[in-house]
Amino acid sequence: MALRNRPRGKGGGVALCAKNGIDCTELSLKNSNAQTESLWVKIRDQSNKGNFVVSVYYRLAVQGEEVDEKFFLQLLEASCLQAMILTGNCNHLDICWKNGKANGKQSRKLLECIEEKFLVQVMESLTTGEALLDLLFTKMEELIRAVKIGVGCSLGCSSHALVEFPILRGTGW
């Protein structure tokens, strides 16, 4: 399990859980210690076909452009690996994920960054009320199958549903 707690205040932060025996190493990116609530982990494929990166990201709803830019720099650095999965809560209520449109400047910037990195949104179910806030992106759709949303099941006091998915490692990447 890898964990990055919010530096100040109660609650917050991100966590990534993997099964025992999985070789995980936290990546130390240039902006890893910035104000972004993100965690980047490299997972070594046990079949020796390569490594992949999994990231967990939480964006505060009132987050400023400066912190968004630091996250985009992390994404740029980590996206050098072909096999990458990015999951988290981006808190952009004005994005329509079906047509790839957004009203706000920061939301449009996120969409541009996602498109530039050739990431595909694979989460289709709502996990928080009426909004698709919890997102799951990948560069290789064949890495993720059988996304399970734990309806009525959450971690701790969170209002977000628990999201589980296996990573298919023997896909030839």
What DSSP letter does each residue of 37-70 carry, written as one string?
A: EEEEEEEE-TTSS-EEEEEEEE--TT--HHHHHH
Provide the residue count of the chain. Answer: 173
Domains in the chain, CATH or no CATH each: 2-164 (3.60.10.10)
Decide if pLDDT at 89 tops 60: yes
Q: Which residue has better confidence, 11 or 55?
A: 55
Mean pLDDT of all residues in the chain?
Answer: 76
What pLDDT score does 15 carry? 75
Q: Read off the pLDDT of residues 108-153 as tens digits, 9 standing for 90 and up.
A: 998 998 888 888 887 766 555 555 556 788 888 887 877 877 655 6
Mean pLDDT of 55-83: 84
Give the strand pairing for 13-16 and 23-26.
Answer: unpaired
**CA torsion 109→26→31→69, rounded to 10°?**
10
Query: What is the residue type of 115?
Result: E
Q: pLDDT value at position 1?
A: 55
Q: With contact defined as beta carbons under 8 Å apart, do 57 and 37 qualify?
A: yes
**Pairing assessment for the beta strands 51-58 and 84-89 based on DSSP bridges:** parallel
| pLDDT score at 171 | 47
Q: Give 56's contacts (C-beta < 8 A, 6+ positions apart).
A: 14, 15, 16, 38, 39, 87, 88
CA–CA distance, 112 with 153 (Å, rounded to integer):
32
Tens of pLDDT, residue by residue over 6-37, are 555 555 677 777 777 778 888 888 766 667 88
pLDDT at 173: 43
